[in-house]
Structure 1
Amino acid sequence: MKSSEQFAIEWNRSKRAINDLCNKGKIPGAIKEGRKWLIPDDAVRPVDKRVSSGKYAKKKAANNKSLPIGISDYVRAQADYYYVDKTLLIKEFLDQKPLVSLFTRPRRFGKTLNMDMLRVFFEISEEDTSKYFENKAIWRCGEEYRRQQGQYPVVFLTFKDVKFDSWKATLDKIKDLLQEEFGRHQEIADSDRLAEYEKTYFAKIINGEASEVDLTVSLAKLSQMLTKHYGKAPIIIIDEYDTPIQEGYSKDFYDEIIGFMRNFFSEAFKDNKNLTYGFLTGILRIAQESIFSGLNNLTVNSVMDEKYDQFFGFTASEVRDMLEYYGALDKEAELKDWYDGYLFGSTEIYNPWSVINYISKGCIPQAYWVNTGKNEILEDVLKVATDDITERLYSLLQGERVIAQIDQNVVYRSLSEDPANIYSLLLVAGYLKTPKKELQADGSYLCEVSIPNREIAAVYKSEILSHLLQIGAITRTTANKIAESLYANDYKKLQKAIAEYMDKSISFYDAGAEGFYHGLVLGLIALMDNQYKIKSNRESGDGRYDISLFPREGRYPGIIMELKWKKDLSADELSGLADEALIQIDEKRYDAEMKEDGIQDILKFGIAFSGKKVSVKTK
């Protein structure tokens, strides 16, 4: 549950308006404790009259298909829901014919649905599954593609839900998935083409009696048995292969999962003569742990590559068609602002999960993608962020571009070895885009990176605040007090708000040097980035100011802050240090940059810290 103050910030409404909606019963699940309203974390912003009476609401009543929120079953998605036709992925693949393909894309960009589409297309079935493709783009490509349909045994595993706290639980889940997949191929259990020892192994998997060693060779064994039974080598599809690896990194069983996966994949894809094609999807290309060691037949298709760039996520034309279908073309600019901005290869891509949620929920812009679960990757990144990286993350929040080296072979463990790998991880995970890139001799890219859209900016703000402030209700309230005091030039209120936060949220031993306080103040004012461009440690006049807030609109004043820190100061000494900081702003002409931008109304704050004590002076 969250407070009404927190939802007021997230929904860009006043606290009074949120409380009024709660009083009127328009926010399901909201409860009142004392004088405060508490609202469920997954509450959806109520549709206002402007939206609910618009074209979308009228069109939706005309028996349009629903949008496939959370549907990864291809047969069901294309039959019962609005389906964006991605079947030309099949043509692209059959034209290229790579033996083993790895597709790396952010989560919820259609990987599982596309892999299930491949399964239905290629898999031998008693049912005539061609009917699921006869009205799709692939069927219009000619007989050479149509005759591939329904011709191969297929092994399909998705690891997207393998998220457990221990190696034992993870292995048990993998055992269950293999048991279920072997069960899908029950027809080979009594095949007269299989030897008795193969049938014994098959029964061991089916009965849940397999050891860890048995499981590591299971894909290779199953492919061998399917080849014997059908006289044709199978296609193996592994969806979200790196989900359990990410869990292993976060939950301290990384070595165990890496060791298992190395053998598991090597047996299936390396020198396996019982393989027609292999497909894998994931977020990362994990090469440095040698999971794909020696797999020289692996073709990697990442967010940086041109091939297959339009098949994961929605293109601009696909989004426009969808908006037209639902009578919401007037929302195109808003939807673009919130959910566009990704670049896969050279193609501009929209986040599909967010687009379908946005349209299905009355065209209300929210951070749908980032609310699908914990953002473990961003949490891991922030744990190892240096001061320089933290400052660059703030620059990104201001809409600026940052120069970064992007290594596509980045792995989770490499974060602790070199925090600069943060940008590579954020890119492949969907938190950055590359407006400009240059391939280097060593295979890495030198890139300009930036935040893709407003949705991702929202999660940066939330996660960075959580990281820097260990945020809770008190810190949200404090951040709002700081914003109010800056607007009002009320230095006493500002001093009280900072002191309140420091007293209730920070251990004395956390307070160390000026850099610590610099990050603290940046975090506390981060909520103001809709009104201000926040800059820090920039040259202006005759020196480098600490923090400056450049107004986005003329009605707001410019704000300059100079921070000072010393140990063990008395109250008078602390006050004098704040005066020194204030004098330095004028002596060093830190307001020169603002004046060049035509900003004349400028507030100046000298802020001094000593342990948990703070003194603020202004002019």
Structure 2
Amino acid sequence: MVETNNRRLPVGIQSFEEIRKEGYLYVDKTDIIWQLAQKGKKYNYLSRPRRFGKSVLVDTLEAYFTGKKELFEGLKIMQMEKEWVKRPVIRLDMSRAGAEPDTLRSYLNNIFRQYEKEYSLVPNPTDSLADRFNAIIVGSYEQTGQQVAILIDEYDSPLQHSWKTPHHEACTSIYREVFAILKADDKYEKFVFITGITKFTQISLFSVLNNLSNISFEPEYAAICGITKEEVLRDFKPEISKLASRNGWTFDEAVAQLTAYYDGYHFSHENMVDIFNPFSLINALADSKLRNYWASSGATSLLPKFVDDMEVRLADFDHSALLSTIIETSDVTGGGAELFLYQSGYLTIKGYINGTYFLGIPN
């Protein structure tokens, strides 16, 4: 059996720098990341289920835009990037912002204060959050001479948690005010990337940033998060061999079991490459056990707002059909349970005919 003692799997680690510096295994997505950063649109939104690697992707983009070339040695991007321009990066992690207007304002106030200190900016006491965000974008551009990269992770977290509560409208009002600056400051921005699970189209970023390109269904980005079968077989052979040995399986039987448990996600009808849930796969290979890691890691708070008695009713949604106009553009608050179950990872694309997506349980 292949030795696995010296290999480290990044269980629960979302820092690209830590993964690279501490010698954890990294599934190389840097060729797709470079294409997104250099050849893609300027304003991008990517929806993927929770625990699918969005935060590692955002962290990798931050390392790239801040010019940390040393972290990328040996990866595919080294054949593609020649300049390694160091840019200012403004990064917001909205999963830390709570679900009430006070906690949302507090988070933005604290993160803006950090950037103001970094760029020696002194806001006026009367400045709004939007004024301060604008001053940070403009100030970082003027001080460095480089356009800014803006990365917003889990943008929908406060909106998810506040939906159907008295706090929701106040939270969306803050979003409309603050993030309208992104469109106004276009000339200072090189790249804007926003991740989330669900879309709140009319009430947040999507209404103030109508030039935001939804790349969630684009074929070239189908595998930007998650792990493909090809990557599993290329990068995890020692761990698969160990799993097989522990359970008395052949190597191929172990792959078949992993596939049955964790594979089957599709994110583009034009590129139906099978995607493994990365959180479950890496945990299973680290433990050499097949368990229900993802569902037991904490369901999103929106589920009960859509589906009563979730486990009983999930089978009812297998073999669902949704129009492409709904799944690709609709607001989650008006798209029905099927749309949310797709966006949150309980359903996936099984087929597509004449503008209609067919959805089903992935694995």
SS in 1 for 2:59: helix
Counterpart of 2:327? 407
Question: Aligned partners of 2:330, 2:302: CA distance in 1, in Å?
Answer: 13
Question: Aligned partners of 2:112, 2:185: CA distance in 1, in Å?
Answer: 21
Query: In structure 2, do the counterparts of structure 1 residues 374 and 95 end up closer, same or farther at CA, with 3 Å as the change threshold?
Result: closer
Write out per-residue CA displacement over residues 22-42 of structure 1, whole angstroms, 9 at most, x where no aligned residue. Answer: xxxxxxxxxxxxxxxxxxxxx
Q: Which has the larger radius of gyration?
A: 1
Q: Determine if the alignment matches structure 1 residue 428 to structure 2 residue 343.
A: yes
Q: Which one of 173, 179, 191 corresponds to residue 277 of structure 1? A: 191
Question: Aligned partners of 2:213, 2:265: CA distance in 1, in Å?
Answer: 22
Question: Aligned partners of 1:102, 1:118: CA distance in 2, in Å?
Answer: 14
Q: CA deviation at 1:295?
A: 3.0
Counterpart of 2:247? none
Q: Which one of 36, 39, 46 corresponds to residue 93 of structure 1? A: 36
Query: In structure 2, do the counterparts of structure 1 residues 412 and 254 end up closer, same or farther at CA, with 3 Å as the change threshold?
Result: farther
Mapping 1:348-359, distance limit 5 Å: 348-359=274-285
Mapping 1:464-483, distance limit 5 Å: none
Question: Aligned partners of 1:154, 1:85: CA distance in 2, in Å?
Answer: 22
Question: Aligned partners of 1:154, 1:391: CA distance in 2, in Å?
Answer: 45
Code of the aligned partner of 1:100: Y
Query: In structure 2, do the counterparts of structure 1 residues 228 and 404 end up closer, same or farther at CA, with 3 Å as the change threshold?
Result: closer
Question: Aligned partners of 1:316, 1:120: CA distance in 2, in Å?
Answer: 27
Query: In structure 2, do the counterparts of structure 1 residues 316 and 223 end up closer, same or farther at CA, with 3 Å as the change threshold?
Result: same
Write out per-residue CA displacement over residues 453-505 of structure 1, whole angstroms, 9 at most, x where no aligned residue. Answer: 1xxxxxxxxxxxxxxxxxxxxxxxxxxxxxxxxxxxxxxxxxxxxxxxxxxxx
Question: Aligned partners of 2:66, 2:353: CA distance in 1, in Å?
Answer: 40
| Contact in 2 for aligned 1:74/1:113 (Cα 8 Å) | yes
Q: Determine if the alignment matches structure 1 residue 394 to structure 2 residue 315.
A: yes
Code of the aligned partner of 2:82: R
Code of the aligned partner of 2:327: D
| Contact in 2 for aligned 1:270/1:294 (Cα 8 Å) | no
Question: Aligned partners of 2:327, 2:359: CA distance in 1, in Å?
Answer: 13
Quote the sequence identity (%).
25
Gapped regions of structure 1 (runs ≥ 5): 1-54, 190-198, 205-209, 415-419, 441-445, 454-619
Question: Aligned partners of 1:323, 1:233: CA distance in 2, in Å?
Answer: 39
Q: Which one of 111, 116, 119 corresponds to residue 59 of structure 2? A: 116
Question: Aligned partners of 1:289, 1:60: CA distance in 2, in Å?
Answer: 49
| Contact in 2 for aligned 1:269/1:278 (Cα 8 Å) | no
Please, what TM-score do these two structures have when normalized by structure 2? Answer: 0.87
Counterpart of 1:151? 86
Q: Which one of 125, 138, 143 corresponds to residue 77 of structure 2? A: 138
Counterpart of 2:358? 448
Query: In structure 2, do the counterparts of structure 1 residues 256 and 169 end up closer, same or farther at CA, with 3 Å as the change threshold?
Result: same
Question: Aligned partners of 1:265, 1:70: CA distance in 2, in Å?
Answer: 30
Question: Aligned partners of 2:46, 2:259: CA distance in 1, in Å?
Answer: 25
Question: Aligned partners of 1:161, 1:250: CA distance in 2, in Å?
Answer: 20
Q: Determine if the alignment matches structure 1 residue 313 to structure 2 residue 255.
A: no
Question: Aligned partners of 1:238, 1:218: CA distance in 2, in Å?
Answer: 16
Q: Which one of 133, 158, 171 corresponds to residue 244 of structure 1? A: 158
Counterpart of 2:15? 73
SS in 2 for 1:59: coil
Q: Which one of 279, 301, 304 corresponds to residue 379 of structure 1? A: 304
SS in 1 for 2:122: helix
SS in 1 for 2:357: strand
Question: Aligned partners of 2:276, 2:25: CA distance in 1, in Å?
Answer: 16
Q: CA deviation at 1:393?
A: 3.8
| Contact in 1 for aligned 2:320/2:360 (Cα 8 Å) | yes
Code of the aligned partner of 1:407: I
Question: Aligned partners of 1:273, 1:69: CA distance in 2, in Å?
Answer: 39
Q: Which one of 148, 151, 166 corresponds to residue 234 of structure 1? A: 148
Code of the aligned partner of 1:74: F
Q: CA deviation at 1:250?
A: 5.1
Dislocated runs of 4+, deviation >6 Å: 389-392
Question: Aligned partners of 1:334, 1:316: CA distance in 2, in Å?
Answer: 13
Please, what TM-score do these two structures have when normalized by structure 1? Answer: 0.53
Query: In structure 2, do the counterparts of structure 1 residues 431 and 348 end up closer, same or farther at CA, with 3 Å as the change threshold?
Result: same
Q: CA deviation at 1:251?
A: 4.1
Q: CA deviation at 1:438?
A: 3.5
SS in 1 for 2:274: strand
Q: CA deviation at 1:292?
A: 2.6
Mapping 1:587-606, distance limit 5 Å: none
Q: CA deviation at 1:447?
A: 2.1
Mapping 1:533-552, distance limit 5 Å: none
| Contact in 2 for aligned 1:288/1:409 (Cα 8 Å) | no
| Contact in 1 for aligned 2:179/2:208 (Cα 8 Å) | no
Question: Aligned partners of 1:102, 1:412: CA distance in 2, in Å?
Answer: 15
Code of the aligned partner of 2:77: I
Question: Aligned partners of 2:166, 2:316: CA distance in 1, in Å?
Answer: 32
Write out per-residue CA displacement over residues 277-327 of structure 1, whole angstroms, 9 at most, x where no aligned residue. Answer: 11111112332225333534321111x331311111101111122330323
Q: Determine if the alignment matches structure 1 residue 334 to structure 2 residue 257.
A: yes
Q: Which one of 88, 103, 107 corresponds to residue 173 of structure 1? A: 107
Gapped regions of structure 2 (runs ≥ 5): 243-250
Q: CA deviation at 1:390?
A: 10
Question: Aligned partners of 2:155, 2:354: CA distance in 1, in Å?
Answer: 27
SS in 1 for 2:11: coil
Question: Aligned partners of 2:209, 2:316: CA distance in 1, in Å?
Answer: 40
C-alpha root-mean-square deviation of aligned residues, in Å?
A: 2.5
Counting matched residue pairs gives: 347
Code of the aligned partner of 1:60: T
Q: Which one of 208, 211, 235 corresponds to residue 297 of structure 1? A: 211
SS in 2 for 1:276: strand
SS in 2 for 1:411: coil
Q: CA deviation at 1:69?
A: 1.4
Q: Which one of 296, 308, 323 corresponds to residue 236 of structure 2? A: 323
Q: CA deviation at 1:412?
A: 4.4
Write out per-residue CA displacement over residues 141-179 of structure 1, whole angstroms, 9 at most, x where no aligned residue. Answer: 2xxx221x2431111111123334x32223223322333
Code of the aligned partner of 1:321: R
Question: Aligned partners of 1:97, 1:155: CA distance in 2, in Å?
Answer: 19
Code of the aligned partner of 1:239: D
| Contact in 2 for aligned 1:283/1:428 (Cα 8 Å) | yes
